[in-house]
Amino acid sequence: MSDQDLFPIGEDTTDSDAPVDILCLSHLRWDFVFQRPQHLMTRLGTRHRVFFVEEPRFENGPDRLQVTQVEDGVNVAVPVLAEWRRGTDEVLAVQRALLRRLMRGERVVDYVLWFLTPMALPLVRDLSPLAVVYDCMDELSAFAGAPPEMKTLETELLGRADLVTTGGRSLYEAKRDRHPNVHPFPSSIDVRHFARARGGCPEPGDQAGLARPRLGFAGVIDERMDLGLVGELAARRPDWQLVFLGPFAKIDPATFPRLPNVHLLGLKAYGELPDYLAGWDAGLLPFAHNDATRFISPTKTPEYLAAGLPVVATSIRDVVTPYGDSGLVRIADGVDAFEAAAAAALAEGRCARLGEVDALLGQGSWDQTAARMRALMLDSIAARRDCAGGGAAAAAGESP
């Protein structure tokens, strides 16, 4: 069965002079935790049309592509496939057909393929982009439930990519010998957004009644978290309220420590986070040491700091450098050391070192990161055109 058989498209009326669009192929849902992809795509969407293509959902009903504009310039495209197709050989063909129908309908001609996951490669192998960008934000093959073919597909993607960017320094060091054009872009920060937490913010209703002190974590709760550390810390310090914001993923919520001073408040919108952080006395990064945390660069580190919180973390490499080395985050492994570091953080209090914090965070805003990555993307387009004999001038201007 061909894509054309599934969805007849008709005559191609695309405009060869269209500006550069971005097809971002994601393993994450747009409406999940607001993190690196959303930060980058909302900013790139001010200069390019972005189509954020998610993995399929399965529902009763006909195959369709659900397209929603979520920001100016950013459209989220979700393949919604008939439930009976789940697990069949036709899933990939239907996704291909839906994507190509979208491209024809939206006149997507000059475009960049922006990969967040190697698993999307079979969906677009036959396309002819201006350039291929692989934003390797995590070592996905090390996560629980990773498909066995992911490493093979990543090797193929690295062979096709014009530009590789990484979500942190340690991940950069792991990839730099595998591609000639790799650049590190650690987690960035919107300081203005989180700095609201330094002053008075309205207390969210589900947190207002909790006693103090409050030590919090905001992010995905999955196999990266040290559940033993969390449970022991809560048991040792029943006077401390441990607050967790975020969804569970790939672990059973029943395995999470359940004590009277452990409060699971669920997923919160990005816009609400400063209100919650304003009511905390310290930020926690209680990560385990395992394959899934070997290369992570937690976005929450700069967000906690921008909010004015003292921060305690286990010795995750991309937290130790630069935040631990600069003395802005207390690094502690093992429950004894972690408890002592948390007590010291509470004694220090909020907003104690804002001058040093702002000096460090000023070096890496999401605006700066998106602009630098865009410049590298345009350079990659120019290099391809130059190699093809078209010259670099066509990609050097501002029209893309």
Mean pLDDT of the chain: 91
Write out the two tokens for 237: 């310090």
Residue 395 has pLDDT above 60, yes or no: no
Q: In what order do the strands lie in the sheet with 329-331?
A: 262-266, 241-245, 214-218, 282-285, 311-313, 329-331
DSSP 127: -
CA–CA dist 20, 133 (Å, integer)? 13
Q: Which residue has the higher pLDDT, 94 or 12?
A: 94
Average pLDDT over residues 1-13: 37
Could you give phi then psi for residue 280, rounded to 5 degrees? -100, 160
- Provide long-range contacts, Cβ within 8 A and 24+ apart, for 9-17: 9/100, 9/101, 9/104, 10/104, 12/104, 13/107, 14/104, 14/107, 14/108, 14/109, 15/107, 15/109, 16/109, 16/110
CA–CA dist 390, 294 (Å, integer)? 42
Instruction: Give per-residue pLDDT as tens, 86-103.
Output: 988 899 999 999 999 999
Confidence band of 400 (pLDDT split at 50, 70, 90):
low
Please count the other Cβ atoms lying within 10 Å of the Cβ belonging to residue 9. Answer: 13
Domain with CATH 3.40.50.2000 in the chain: 3-188+366-396, 191-361
Average pLDDT over residues 203-228: 97
Instruction: Give per-residue pLDDT as tens, 360-391.
Output: 998 889 999 999 999 999 999 999 988 877 54
Residue 247 has pLDDT above 70, yes or no: yes
| The length of the chain, given as a count of residues | 400
Q: Give residue 390's pLDDT.
A: 52
Q: Give residue 200's pLDDT.
A: 78
Provide Rg for the chain, Cα atoms: 22
Q: Give residue 245's pLDDT.
A: 98
* Residue with the two structure tokens 């309908």: 105
Q: Give residue 13's pLDDT.
A: 35
Instruction: Give per-residue pLDDT as tens, 162-198.
Output: 999 999 999 999 999 999 999 999 989 999 999 999 9
Burial class (CB in 10 A: 0-12, 13-18, 19+), 106: middle
Residue 4 has pLDDT above 80, yes or no: no
CA angle, 216 then 222 then 227, to 5°: 65
- CATH 3.40.50.2000 at 191-361, yes or no: yes
| Three-class secondary structure of residue 351 per DSSP | coil
Q: Give residue 391's pLDDT.
A: 46
Instruction: Give per-residue pLDDT as tens, 265-314.
Output: 999 999 999 999 999 999 999 999 999 999 999 999 999 999 999 999 99
- Which superfamily does 3-188+366-396 belong to? Glycogen Phosphorylase B; (3.40.50.2000)
Q: How far is CA 96 from CA 7, 99, 123, 270, in A?
A: 10, 5, 6, 32
